[in-house]
Amino acid sequence: MFSIAIIIAIVFLALIFDFINGFHDTANAIATSVSTKALSPRNAILIAASLNFVGALSGTAVAATIGKSLVAPELVTGSVMVAALIGAIFWNLFTWYFGIPSSSSHALIGGLTGAVIAGFGFHAVLWGGFLKILAGLIIAPIVGGLMGSGVMTILFWIFKPAAPSKINNGFRKLQIVSACMASFAHGSNDAQKSMGIITMVLVGGGIIGVFDVPLWVKIACAASMGMGTAVGGWKIIKTMGGKIFRIEPINGFAADFSSSLVIYSASLLGAPVSTTHVVSSAIMGVGAAKRLKGVRWNIARQIIVAWFVTIPSSAVVAILTYNILKIMALVL
């Protein structure tokens, strides 16, 4: 059982994670539209913040997966949850500082897994659920890249006879729609992860009897992510919006449209995916369809490396944090 003070502390940390997730992953929805000047930075942030909030309220299937598939709620302790969230928060801030578009989803899952291992051992992790979540995290970017490439190829084929200036003007307007779609999809998946963590703690603390996300948790997580999004993440926007390849409006639309369909489909299926990975892969797929040599594969390689190191890195931080908390408890 958790004390009320521990529950409040964990809820607070979960909302901080959501806030950081918001400004860390803002680039997912608005980087391409800002880079092509389809939207001003201010308007892009407003759109992303408001639709992230709305998307976060659209369902709870992902929250249930996070809350019930990695570890049984009755095995969760205050130290485990604090260590898990600190591990995820640390990695998000670390990658944000260096402008690396890493995954908040990977960071949270790595942090939770590492903290549970530190607290109860490897057997306490529900490895079947972990592998299912990991499979979704791996498959979604692949689908995003293939879909981005496919959509871009179709658009090239349809609009090949048209003048480039006319195409750019038309798709610059359509990018506003695709940015809205991407923002809603991002909120529908990412905010639910913190909802799952908080609800898991409420079940473990005996505050609620069954795993059912309370309305106040939905609103709090949605608001935290919306406020975080309003702060923006310009370092990552710079990477996503121009360093992978030179994006034009038709490319930006194809990337946002493709990634939003993949992410929202995952949300409906209850699969927690990395919005960062899906968007990055979609941009790479679009760039490859446009011109394979035009993609700056060294930047893409750095992003892919970050994908693979995030789970173990955040897990290690969570393990270290758990042991520090344990030592502090013995000393005090």
pLDDT, one tens digit per residue, over 189-222 is 988 888 989 998 888 788 888 888 999 999 999 8
* Mean pLDDT computed over 60-86: 86
Q: Where are the domains of the chain?
A: 4-331
pLDDT, one tens digit per residue, over 265-290 is 999 999 988 887 888 889 889 888 87
pTM of the model: 0.86
* Mean pLDDT computed over 2-13: 88
The pLDDT value given to residue 95 = 81
Q: For the chain, report the end-to-end CA distance as a whole number of angstroms.
A: 21
